[in-house]
Amino acid sequence: MARNLYRFVVAARSAFAFPEGTSLCYESDAPSDIEPVVRIGVSSVWWPVSDTSRLPMVLQIEVDVWADALDEVVQVADEIVIGFIDTLAVCLNAAIDTPQTLAIFDVTPGHRERVMRQYAFEPQYRGLTPVRCEATEIFDPTLRAIYFTRVDAYKVGLAMAHYRAALGFFGASGLIFSFEFLCITAEILAESFVKRELEARSVPFSNKAVKALAKEYGHDPETLKNWRYRLYDEISVRDIFDGDGELFKTVGNASNGFEHGTMTADAIRSVALQTTPLLFRKLRSAFIKLANIDLNLLSTPGSWEPVGFDPVREFIDVTLTGPGETFESFGASPDQAPTLSVTYEYTSVTVNDGHLSVARRVNVRPRVGEDVSVGSLIHTSMNPFNVTGTAKLVEPGDEDEHD
């Protein structure tokens, strides 16, 4: 089967903007079986904010790739774009946020029928993100105990800052950063557990006291140069990783590979994918131990899964059929890509088992050329949350059309 040419478009907030009307474009002339990427283009989208003024809102990145099917593009899109914006951020010395895929199109020359996938987004302040709703009395005792943790309060506070950063990155695109922040959290907490061990012996923390503890654990400072690392690692395995030495080793190798460049991004991401949810559970339990909370007194909070900012990912798949020989001819205007205008009607919002449960209808209005027909509309919501919906193709002039 001949490979098709697909274009996927992503947008990301950025602390840098290209001048309006300018862009960068990189093209490859390598065969598709060697290099799937044909072109990467990047520009800033400037939107009018008044009759006379425009502001740069987002970076828009377009990538053309050869693939056998649209779903195959989804698998490589994040990897290609993340690598590109990492490079862009270094070159520009400006922050670039996690990108969001906007659409994927079949742009193969000569096709009369093309598949198109557009992701559905609402304005950020109204967009759906995972939300946990719980009565205050359920978590209040835990919150107070952790907030007033007495053992090594300064370091525990620093560890919590990294843990919060890990939650902020927790999602498909930022998983590798979430993983690394969790590894830093574990490294900081290791010393806190050493201090807790000394406190249990009524011994103030000092280098002399740590040396004595290391000798007690069989890591004699007189004969071992790395005695401190061995002590901290042993206590980490016991108190943070619940005795799982294999997990500790796997996570440590990947973290060192990330920090020192001894592993590929793919290899680190593979470890992160397998271990990050478990790391969240281990480290949250470690905070609870340091706060001296009786685990038997915990009910729901003890089993909570991490919730990040990863949005509900929805997309609309349609088939476009028309006489045009090029992808751009399917748009409402010459040289314009076809688009789907999406609005929502909410039918219910409830709280079930501590999570929002949302049902809504998606109204889809195509903006395509006069001779282009739209068929086989499919709405998909890919998320771990309780969000369901149906989609309706709205023709111009429909009475229930809402803007």
Is residue 348's pLDDT more than 90? no
Domain identity same for 343 and 358: yes
Average the pLDDT over 8-24 and give the result: 89
CB within 8 A of 144, min separation 6: which ones?
A: none
Domain identity same for 90 and 122: no
Q: What is the DSSP letter of 261?
A: T
Looking at 271, 303, 335, the residue that finishes a domain is 303
Q: Which of 33-47, 345-359, 379-393 has the highest mean pLDDT?
A: 33-47
- Give the tens place of pLDDT for each residue, 196-244: 999 999 999 999 999 999 999 999 999 999 999 999 999 999 999 999 9
Q: What's the structural domain count of the chain?
A: 3
Q: What is the DSSP letter of 89?
A: H
Structure tokens that stand for 234 in this block: 């042993």
SS3 at position 118: strand
Structure tokens that stand for 399 in this block: 């009475």
- Residue holding tokens 């501590």? 354
Looking at 255, 273, 303, the residue that finishes a domain is 303
Structure tokens that stand for 257 in this block: 């590979």
**Residue 185, CB-side half-sphere exposure with 13 Å CA sphere:** 28
C-alpha to C-alpha distances, 54 to 11, 19, 49, 62, 348, nearest whole angstrom: 18, 11, 5, 22, 37
Question: How many residues belong to the chain?
Answer: 403
Alpha carbon distance 195, 198 (integer Å): 5
Structure tokens that stand for 332 in this block: 């409402």
Looking at 303, 336, 370, the residue that finishes a domain is 303
* Contact (Cβ atoms closer than 8 angstroms) between residue 19 and residue 63: no
Domain identity same for 248 and 145: yes
Average the pLDDT over 5-25 and give the result: 89
Domain identity same for 150 and 86: no
- The pTM for the full model equals 0.72
Is residue 365's pLDDT more than 80? yes
Domain identity same for 167 and 243: yes
- Give the tens place of pLDDT for each residue, 260-301: 999 998 899 899 999 998 999 999 889 888 888 766 555 544
Q: What are phi and psi of 264, to 5 degrees?
A: -75, 160
Domain identity same for 116 and 104: no
Structure tokens that stand for 387 in this block: 């969000």
Query: Residue 124: pLDDT band by 50, 70, 90 thresholds?
Result: very low
Alpha carbon distance 38, 32 (integer Å): 8
SS3 at position 141: helix
Element (H, E) at 364: strand 355-367
SS3 at position 400: coil
Q: Please give the residue range of the domain that contains residue 160.
A: 136-303
The reported pLDDT for the residue numbered 382 is 67
Domain identity same for 198 and 316: no
**SS3 breakdown of the chain: % helix, strand, coil, rounded to 5?**
40, 30, 35
Closest CA to 368 of 105, 122, 123: 105
* Contact (Cβ atoms closer than 8 angstroms) between residue 91 and residue 26: no
Domain identity same for 274 and 144: yes
Domain identity same for 160 and 205: yes
Domain identity same for 333 and 221: no
Domain identity same for 287 and 339: no
- Residue holding tokens 């000092």? 206
Q: What are phi and psi of 81, to 5 degrees?
A: -70, -45
* Contact (Cβ atoms closer than 8 angstroms) between residue 160 and residue 287: yes
Domain identity same for 266 and 163: yes
